[in-house]
Amino acid sequence: MASIYIETFGCQMNEADSQYIADRAAASGYEVTANAAEASVVVLNTCTVRDNAERRAYGRMAHFKALKNADPSLKLVVCGCLAEQDKDTMRAAVPFLDGVFGTRDLARLGDALASWRPSFDDDLSLADERLLIEPMGGRADCVGDAYAHVRAFVNVQRGCSYYCTYCIVPHVRGRFDNRALGEILTECRAALARGARELTLVGQTVNAYREPAGGADFSDLLEAVHALEGLDRLTFLTSHPKDYTAKLARTMGALEKLNPRFHLPVQCGSDRILRRMNRKYTVADYRAKIATFRSHCPDWALTTDLIVAFPGEDEDDFAATLALCEEMAFAQAFMFVYSPRRGTPAAHWEQLPPALGGERLRRLAETIDRGVRAWHRAKLGRTVRALVVGPSRKDRSKLAAKTTDNVTVIAPAGPLGEADLKARPWLDVRVDEAFTWGCTGHITGVAERYDGVAVPVDARPTVDLIA
């Protein structure tokens, strides 16, 4: 049967786009494969938020050229933000591509897959030259493993209209384009019908959502999705402080199926640098938003994004960021050294030395990690309910799962097999140890639903020396 291999770089919006591509491919008669060397079509869904992501994507294109050389019938396609940014130059730079589809071209990519399908033999036999290709590496997305169905990402909005001076997103995804509420609910119902236990509503600035026709805001959208039959848990990414309102805080505190984790990027603790970033708020504004959040959601995890070594950042600016992070005690943070992006204002400003960026990132990580470890240690001795992810990458005799506040837990699988976990994907894990990356423990029960009664399990090993 004709097959498609999809490899995704970047954010949850790209993950949702890859799922759309997989769904369109399946509707056209393709099977999703985890092995690029077996695929009829190879799709790279790219990111351009950082320079490293661009270089990796172009490197993967060159890597996959070996497959194209071995079997010219293979279709090699690039989509996503890098394809949007470089759409006028990519075909010349990488002439062996069969298609370049920007962020606004996903429907056209789906149409291309349908048009190519008749050219692939259902009894696909690989060319001898392809069988000699060394393993390609990389990680496939959208492959229907036993647990893929339990989570679903649903795009509610594309683009962004805020034009932070470091960010390429408005240039490659366009300005705000909000989907109709009814369309979103239809997609959510379909995911729940497939067995999804957790829905993630995704947008670049998701809390700025405004329904195009009726004017419903993000709070209204949350309430509508929360009311869907069959939903276990609901979460959303990513919010902007400018659009965080008292109404949204009240809604978050009132909806019992919302995951108790709020991701609100602050980026920096210096007002001077926030102005240069065009973030549209001050540190005092951020503190006030968090105070409102805490008044309605006192026990939730607060997570954030941070950039160090932004052009013009001096030691006082960085010290202000460290102080804010100590104050907030974030439960998790995504931290980056500033990376210039072509086409953004900040890329033209004087840059700080890379060594300084690395040193500041190390110091920031030390500060953040104290809060992260404290959050994880608070789980010691407790039993937490977590949604299975699958076998641990480091030890396949153990299971990885995510708590509702997005903490990774690892525990021996014991007698639990794939059939058990497909039927009951919620794990009750007694936490025995806490680390910066997450927690380890042992499984005491499994449940079909988040609020359901667990079936007892004794998955404790006789000896467990490897975390």
* pLDDT tens digits for range 310-323: 999 999 999 999 99
State both tokens at 393.
Answer: 């990458």
Flag whether pLDDT at 238 surpasses 90. Answer: yes
Q: What is the pLDDT of residue 125?
A: 54
Say if residues 373 and 434 touch (Cβ distance below 8 Å). Answer: yes
The secondary element (H helix, E strand) that includes residue 447 is strand 439-447
Q: Please state, rounded to an integer, the average pLDDT across all residues of the chain.
A: 91
How far apart are the C-alpha atoms of 348 and 341, rounded to whole Å?
9
Strands of the sheet containing 75-80, edge to edge, are 31-32, 3-8, 41-46, 75-80, 99-101
CB-count burial class (<10 Å; 0-12, 13-18, 19+) for 458: exposed
How do residues 116-127 score in pLDDT, each as one tens digit? 999 987 655 554
- Res 140: pLDDT: 62
Q: Which residue has the higher pLDDT, 92 or 146?
A: 92
User: For 335-381, what is each residue's pLDDT tens digit?
Assistant: 999 999 888 999 999 999 999 999 999 999 999 999 999 999 999 99
Specify the pLDDT at position 123.
59
Q: Residue 325: what pLDDT?
A: 98
In whole angstroms, what is the distance from residue 32 CA to residue 259 CA?
A: 30
Helix (H/G/I), strand (E/B), else coil: 257 = coil
Query: 345-361 burial, b for 16+ CB within 10 Å, e for fewer?
Result: ebbeeebbeeebbeebb
Pairing relation of β-strands 41-46 and 75-80? parallel
Contact 197, 235 (CB under 8 A): no
Nearest Cα neighbor of 439 from 459, 462, 426, 399 is 399
pLDDT tens digits, 417-426 = 999 999 999 9
What is the structure's pLDDT at 131?
Answer: 44
pLDDT tens profile 59-91? 999 988 988 888 899 999 999 999 999 988 999
Question: Would you state the pLDDT for residue 19?
Answer: 86
Q: What is the mean pLDDT of residues 240-246?
A: 98
Q: What is the mean pLDDT of residues 231-247?
A: 97
Average the pLDDT over each of 25-29, 137-141, 235-239, 297-301 and give the range with the smallest value: 137-141
pLDDT of residue 217: 98
pLDDT at 460: 59
d(CA 271, CA 179): 33
Pairing of strands 426-434, 439-447: antiparallel
DSSP code at position 319? H
Residue 87 has a pLDDT of 87
Query: Could you read off the pLDDT of 101-115 as tens digits, one per residue?
Result: 998 899 999 999 999
pLDDT tier at 132, thresholds 50, 70, 90: very low
In whole angstroms, how far apart are CA 426 and each of 69, 132, 310, 420, 453?
Answer: 45, 42, 42, 10, 10
Residue 104 pLDDT:
86
Amino acid at the residue 155: N
* pLDDT, mean of residues 124-132: 47
Counting every residue written for the chain, the total comes to 467
Closest CA to 141 of 284, 20, 47, 28: 20
Residue 144 pLDDT: 58
Helices H / strands E in the chain, number of each: 15, 19
Q: In this predicted model, what pLDDT tens digit does every residue of 424-445 receive, in sequence order? A: 999 999 999 999 999 999 999 9
Amino acid identity of residue 318, one-letter, is F
Contact 263, 304 (CB under 8 A): yes
d(CA 216, CA 224): 10
Mean pLDDT of 197-211: 95
Rounded to 10 degrees, what is the CA torsion of 237, 240, 241, 247?
-60
User: Residues 169, 341: contact at Cβ < 8 Å?
Assistant: no
**Farthest-apart Cα atoms in the chain, separation:** 65
Res. 134: pLDDT tops 60:
no
